[in-house]
Amino acid sequence: MTWRKFSGEVIQSPIMEEVEKAIEREALLGNKLKVCIGTDSQVKGSITDFATVIVFLREKRGAFMFIHQERTSQKMSIKERMLSEVQKSIDIAYKLCDLLDLYDVDLEVHADINTNPMFKSNAALHEAMGYILSMGFVFKAKPEAFASSYCANKIVQ
């Protein structure tokens, strides 16, 4: 699984190592971190692009993120695609949660799902929320889900 920084620089070491280095570096600088993980997707013809981001929020000091992208030609309904986004975010959150707990870093999983029933993505809201909460993670949906709705969205646009 290839990850990169927002600058485009490819992360050479395993993502767990890179996250730990980032946490340690930020702690030495006196920054309190919170990590938000989110995924967004965009359908372009027969291809669906996914972007998953790990956003590191520095309390009152900005943020930085790591990005993973993948594509599929698998046909999906809107609900399947939303739940696939959630699955990708949970996979990363699950891999990182013990490390984040060790360093006392708060974690949120963001779903690019609208809480307004007028939007198609709302069809997956209850399943996504149940899935994320049942895994023990803090859940955020639109409009609070900036990791997926803004950060990952910029990558797949």
Domains and CATH numbers, the chain: 3-156 (3.30.420)
Task: Say what the pTM is.
Answer: 0.95
Residue 18 CB contacts under 8 Å (≥ 6 apart), including other chains: 3, 11, 66
What pLDDT was estimated at residue 94? Answer: 97
Contact 54, 66 (CB under 8 A): yes
What pLDDT was estimated at residue 53? Answer: 98
Strands 106-114, 138-142: pairing is parallel
The residue with tokens 């309904």 is 77
